[in-house]
Structure 1
Amino acid sequence: MSKTLNIVGGGMAGSEAAWQAANAGLQVVLHEMRPKVETFAHRTGHLAEMVCSNSFRSDDSEQNAVGLLHWEMRAAGGIIMEMADRHRLPAGGALAVDRDPFAEAVTQKLTQHPNITVQALEITSLPTEGNWIFATGPLTSGALAEAIRAETGTEALAFFDAIAPIVHADSIDMSRAWMQSRYDKGETEEERTAYLNCPMDKATYEAFIDALLAAEKTAFKEGETAGYFDGCLPIEVMAERGRETLRFGPMKPIGLTNAHQPDVKPYAVVQLRRDNKLGTLYNIVGFQTKMKYGAQTEVLRMIPGLEEARFARLGGIHRNTFLNSPTLLDGQMRLKSRPNIRFAGQITGVEGYVESAAMGLLAARLAIGELTGTSIPEVPPTTAMGALVHHITGGADAKTFQPMNVNFGLFPPVDGLKSGRRGRKDRYKAYTDRAKSDWQGWLDAQTLPA
């Protein structure tokens, strides 16, 4: 078997994958279409160019899931974290990066590595031979996106990402909310209580609509157009069509009885649906939104039962290209229909620079194991890396799959810990202690450089 690994895309994921593979002795060809083919977002031809912000978010590896992901990538010898640490800026507990020197340093390290060849070449098809990692991100070129669509099906890619917020289950006030599927549909008790419901009276609904219409919204960037799908319209767009539109749409109260006040019929109901197998995350059904984050939290906390909600992900709408990974990728991050190809980075359905780089690191490690005949154990789902890859390759609901940041809601619970706000600090520390031990054990079980 050839020990050459081709990597398409020189962003965070592709750069990290190239570094990991080259340091393990593989010959790497890194295909990056820039600067030969430009995008509207990038300014340079550097590898690992940061285009959205200069922040890697929290660096707290004991109380924050993305900080834990930082720790795991450092432990695995990741180039993205090494260069981020080298070019960090003062930002309190966050890891902010001086973005241009950061990208220049990553580019220099990769182009000078004896096992890496960088080619300024646009890949427009899915190869049938060789070993490949595609890490082309949300700005995948049109030709390649069309090739992926042809291979995976027309529903596999989305180009405008209308995202609904996701709430941590233990932050929902169940003295106000209740569990019930509409009309009690379902053959089992689990099916009949599949939805979590938050009731509104008329005054609360009217105040909510007023706040929704007045909230500050995100404007589209130059070069983008707002083509909405009727099935996932932002709630502000629906409200603009008439004040009662939401009450006859995602907030309709029919078929539901408030378990706390069975004799009082709600004027409107906000429904949340479990978003992962663990039941630790709930998606606000039909609440795709383009409200800015600050306004979004204020408006959504007007919903009875969500007054103290903690959000695993806030809603939004932006151009994006991502796979329905739970359907298309196997546990090794390979395309099921073409197992010589792995996908990594944001195109797999993770959100954020760190998460993208992490999936590049993991895809490379899995490819190294396959190409060198080294046994690579399953990534523990108790780790930040493992929680993410398990989510995108099967833990998430394929029908409602949307890009996700790493968060503790993706982790298996730690037995015997208190839930709720007061126990959160101890619970998160238990998550991170367990993750660090399991991640180090996973690295130690390999014969690869770590």
Structure 2
Amino acid sequence: MTETLHIVGGGMAGSEAAWQAAQIGVPVVIHEMRPATGTFAHQTGDLAEMVCSNSFRSDDDEQNAVGLLHWEMRQAGGLIMQMADRHRLPAGGALAVDREAFARDVTATLRALPNVTVEAGEITDLPREGRWIFATGPLTSAALGQAIARETGTDRLAFFDAIAPIVYADSIDMSKAWMQSRYDKGETEEERTAYLNCPMDRDQYEAFIDALLAAEKTEFHEGETAGYFDGCLPIEVMAERGRETLRHGPMKPVGLTNPHQPDVKPWAVVQLRRDNALGTLYNIVGFQTKMKYGAQAAVFKTIPGLENTSFARLGGIHRNTFLNSPTLLDDQMRLRARPNLRFAGQITGVEGYVESAAMGLLAGRLAAAEILGRPLQTPPQDTAMGALIHHITGGAEAKTFQPMNVNFGLFRPVDGLKGGRRGRRDRYKAYTDRAKAAWSEWLQGAKMDIPAPV
């Protein structure tokens, strides 16, 4: 009888790992503590629940590293990408999904597999026997975090993550707001109008910055320091870095024309992105926050078009736990001191839904191959997944290790290409062409059936 693979955590990484291993023929048990034991950010007990944003970011597989990661996961029959494509929402060049329908479908699909069992309950220690993948994500429970710290001999590393608020669409004043994607990007009218835009003139922007800086914020416990991941900074932290920071970041006014005042260039623009298929909910793009609830409502209602808005969810902040993977994990994502244990997802030091799912995909395949007696080499470094796993398991500097999104800076240079901005498109295309060839060859050499679409 084939040995069972145990997976702790039913988020993006755990769900993808379970799917990959099960499709290859390995029995899987997913241990998920929700809903019996909840977290600050989760709302349901569904697998693969999205708690921060509903976006998988760019879907461009020729000019963007995360888009390339999408492509690799699709080629590998990834469940997360299949479900994302099925529940896709208009978002210009980005891949955004109806988060509730997405999570329900992932849950139903995994529960329907005959060799997958989902067990409710919290795992609080690191088992000595069996093969396990720990994919507990940024909200690893305190008890399990302490067990990991005891085993690794180091204090767990942490930074703070923030989530953005969600508003009800029918409470937005469309006499001030309008629908448009930046530069009208998209192949259909729906895609070209995927974002809802709220304009600000200079005085409104300056007043907004003043309100952000003065608002009451969440205080940290004694002894905690706030080390933020740059890709998910609270909006008020960005404002503290300079009054123009937001205007050149999530509130940049470029590529947009206000139909209510077509001859007036907005000084800044707040964008909202559809959060569900019905179009009844919108999340405020880039507006992760650590403001207290009352302050959030007051500050965000100063945005033109949101003066009378109602919030389906306010923003918040939570602790994010991750390993110093370059010192702790081998190139198979196994804990060096306990090779029966693998880690996957954000706890390994990757950042983002897609990156987490990708590491789950690899962990699931590597573990299944090991169980079946067919050891599998990790993908070549020239692939997006290979670049990520190389970074977290030895490529990064251990002393300064921090969570990382996939990016072309993790890839080996392509010889013979000119540098600078003018050569960037050719360079990125060369990266993706090389990666696609290497990934296709790795999949073929892995000699495992690619999971069929569901």
Q: TM-score, normalised by structure 1?
A: 0.69
Cross-structure match for 2:54 = 54
C-alpha contact 1:63 1:428 (8 A) present in aligned 2: yes
Q: Which amino acid letter does the alignment assign opposite residue 340 of structure 1? A: N
Cross-structure match for 1:338 = 338
Cross-structure match for 1:172 = none
C-alpha contact 1:160 1:227 (8 A) present in aligned 2: no
Within the alignment, does 1:442 sit opposite 2:425 as a pair? Answer: no
C-alpha contact 1:28 1:117 (8 A) present in aligned 2: yes
State the distance in 1 between where 2:108 and 2:377 align.
32
CA deviation map 1:375-405 (0-9, x unaligned) = 4233111111011110001111111111111
Q: Which amino acid letter does the alignment assign opposite residue 32 of structure 1? A: E
Q: Which amino acid letter does the alignment assign opposite residue 90 of structure 1? A: P
Shift of residue 157, structure 1, vs aligned partner = 2.7
Shift of residue 368, structure 1, vs aligned partner = 1.4
Within the alignment, does 1:74 sit opposite 2:84 as a pair? Answer: no
Cross-structure match for 2:220 = 226
Cross-structure match for 1:5 = 5
CA deviation map 1:310-345 (0-9, x unaligned) = xxxxx9985210001011101100001110000000
Instruction: Report the secondary structure of 2:139's partner residue.
Output: coil
C-alpha contact 2:343 2:363 (8 A) present in aligned 1: yes
State the distance in 2 between where 1:424 and 1:131 align.
43
Q: Which moved more, 1:292-301 or 1:32-41?
A: 292-301
Unpaired runs of at least 5, structure 1: 163-209, 235-282, 303-314
Aligned pairs for 1:179-328 (under 5 A) are 216=212, 225-227=219-221, 295=239, 298-299=244-245, 319-328=319-328
User: Cα RMSD over matched residues?
Assistant: 3.2
Aligned pairs for 1:341-356 (under 5 A) are 341-356=341-356
Aligned pairs for 1:360-375 (under 5 A) are 360-375=360-375
Shift of residue 226, structure 1, vs aligned partner = 2.0
Cross-structure match for 2:117 = 117
Cα separation, partners in 2 of 1:86 and 1:329, compared to 1, 3 Å: same
Shift of residue 294, structure 1, vs aligned partner = 6.7
Instruction: Report the secondary structure of 2:123's partner residue.
Output: coil
C-alpha contact 1:30 1:117 (8 A) present in aligned 2: yes
State the distance in 2 between where 1:362 and 1:379 align.
9
Cα separation, partners in 2 of 1:330 and 1:78, compared to 1, 3 Å: same
Q: TM-score, normalised by structure 2?
A: 0.68
State the distance in 2 between where 1:384 and 1:127 align.
31
Cross-structure match for 2:376 = 376
C-alpha contact 2:24 2:448 (8 A) present in aligned 1: yes
State the distance in 2 between where 1:42 and 1:403 align.
21
Q: Which amino acid letter does the alignment assign opposite residue 406 of structure 1? A: V
Instruction: Report the secondary structure of 2:321's partner residue.
Output: coil
Within the alignment, does 1:144 sit opposite 2:144 as a pair? Answer: yes
Provide the aligned length of Structure 1 versus Structure 2: 339
Instruction: Report the secondary structure of 2:339's partner residue.
Output: strand
Cross-structure match for 1:106 = 106
State the distance in 2 between where 1:154 and 1:38 align.
26
CA deviation map 1:192-220 (0-9, x unaligned) = xxxxxxxxxxxxxxxxxx9xx96956989
Q: Which amino acid letter does the alignment assign opposite residue 392 of structure 1? A: I
Shift of residue 60, structure 1, vs aligned partner = 0.3
Cross-structure match for 1:421 = 421
Q: Which amino acid letter does the alignment assign opposite residue 13 of structure 1? A: A
Cα separation, partners in 2 of 1:44 and 1:291, compared to 1, 3 Å: closer
C-alpha contact 2:160 2:227 (8 A) present in aligned 1: no
Within the alignment, does 1:88 sit opposite 2:92 as a pair? Answer: no
CA deviation map 1:286-309 (0-9, x unaligned) = xx975558756944999xxxxxxx
Cross-structure match for 2:390 = 390
Instruction: Report the secondary structure of 1:118's partner residue.
Output: strand
C-alpha contact 1:46 1:104 (8 A) present in aligned 2: yes
Cα separation, partners in 2 of 1:353 and 1:45, compared to 1, 3 Å: same
Instruction: Report the secondary structure of 1:320's partner residue.
Output: strand
Shift of residue 22, structure 1, vs aligned partner = 0.3
CA deviation map 1:61-92 (0-9, x unaligned) = 00000000000000000000000000000011
Runs of 4+ in 1 over 3 A off after TM superposition: 159-162, 213-221, 227-234, 288-302, 315-318
C-alpha contact 1:220 1:226 (8 A) present in aligned 2: no
C-alpha contact 1:160 1:228 (8 A) present in aligned 2: no
State the distance in 1 between where 2:429 and 2:211 align.
36
Shift of residue 53, structure 1, vs aligned partner = 0.9
Cα separation, partners in 2 of 1:420 and 1:140, compared to 1, 3 Å: same
Instruction: Report the secondary structure of 1:22's partner residue.
Output: helix
Q: Which amino acid letter does the alignment assign opposite residue 148 of structure 2? A: I
Shift of residue 40, structure 1, vs aligned partner = 1.4
Q: Which amino acid letter does the alignment assign opposite residue 109 of structure 2? A: K
C-alpha contact 2:145 2:156 (8 A) present in aligned 1: no
C-alpha contact 2:61 2:71 (8 A) present in aligned 1: yes
Unpaired runs of at least 5, structure 2: 163-205, 249-287, 290-316
CA deviation map 1:348-373 (0-9, x unaligned) = 00100000000000111111121112
Shift of residue 3, structure 1, vs aligned partner = 2.1
State the distance in 1 between where 2:215 and 2:55 align.
21
Within the alignment, does 1:431 sit opposite 2:431 as a pair? Answer: yes
CA deviation map 1:98-147 (0-9, x unaligned) = 01110000000000001100000110000000000000001011111111
Instruction: Report the secondary structure of 2:421's partner residue.
Output: coil
CA deviation map 1:11-55 (0-9, x unaligned) = 000000000000000000000001111111111110000010110
C-alpha contact 2:156 2:321 (8 A) present in aligned 1: no
Shift of residue 153, structure 1, vs aligned partner = 2.2
Q: Which amino acid letter does the alignment assign opposite residue 449 of structure 1? A: D
Q: Which amino acid letter does the alignment assign opposite residue 74 of structure 1? A: R
C-alpha contact 1:37 1:122 (8 A) present in aligned 2: yes
Instruction: Report the secondary structure of 1:82's partner residue.
Output: helix
State the distance in 1 between where 2:210 and 2:69 align.
37
State the distance in 2 between where 1:143 and 1:219 align.
34
State the distance in 2 between where 1:75 and 1:233 align.
36
- What percent identity do the matched residue pairs reach? 69
